[in-house]
A and B are shown apart, each in its own frame.
Chain A
Amino acid sequence: MRKKNGLRVILLVASIGSILIGIYREEVLTVLVKAINICLECVGIG
Chain B
Amino acid sequence: MARFKRKLTQVLTAIVTNGYLPGFLKGDIYRGNLKRFCVPGLNCYSCPGALGSCPIGSLQAVIGSAKYQISFYVLGAIALIGTLLGRFVCGWLCPFGLIQEFIHKIPSKKFKISSKNPVKYSKYLILLVFVIILPMFVVNILGMGDPFFCKYICPAGTLEAGIPLVIMNPSLRQAIGFIFSWKVFLLLLTITASIFIARPFCRFICPLGAIYGLFNPISLYKLEVNSDVCIKCNKCTNTCPISIETYKTPNSPECIRCGECIGACPTKAISSSFGLKESEGLDVKEMEMK
Contact = CB atoms under 8 A, between A and B. Distances in A.
A22 B183 contact: no
A18 B73 contact: yes
Given A1-B278, A19-B73, A32-B36, A41 B151 contact: yes
Given A25-B72, A38-B29, A43-B180, A30 B62 contact: yes
Interface string A16-39: 111111110101101110111111
Given A19-B73, A38-B29, A46 B146 contact: yes
Interface string B74-90: 11110110111000000
Contact of B73 (A12, A27, A36): A27
Nearest to A29: B36
Interface size of B as a range: 35 or more
A-B pairs, 3 with minimum CB distance? A22-B73, A18-B76, A44-B180
B44 A45 contact: no
- The main secondary structure of chain A at its interface with chain B is helix
B180 A16 contact: no
- The main secondary structure of chain B at its interface with chain A is helix
Contacts of B161: 38-39, 42-43
Contact of B58 (A19, A34, A36): A34
Given A30-B67, A38-B46, 17 more contacts: A4-B218, A8-B83, A11-B79, A12-B80, A12-B84, A22-B72, A22-B73, A22-B74, A25-B73, A31-B73, A34-B53, A35-B50, A35-B52, A42-B150, A42-B161, A44-B182, A45-B175
Contacts of B38: 31
Given A19-B77, A30-B62, A42 B72 contact: no
Interface residues of A, number: 36
Contacts of A46: 146, 151, 179
A30 B76 contact: no
Contact of A42 (B67, B73, B74, B162): B162
A28 B166 CA distance: 28
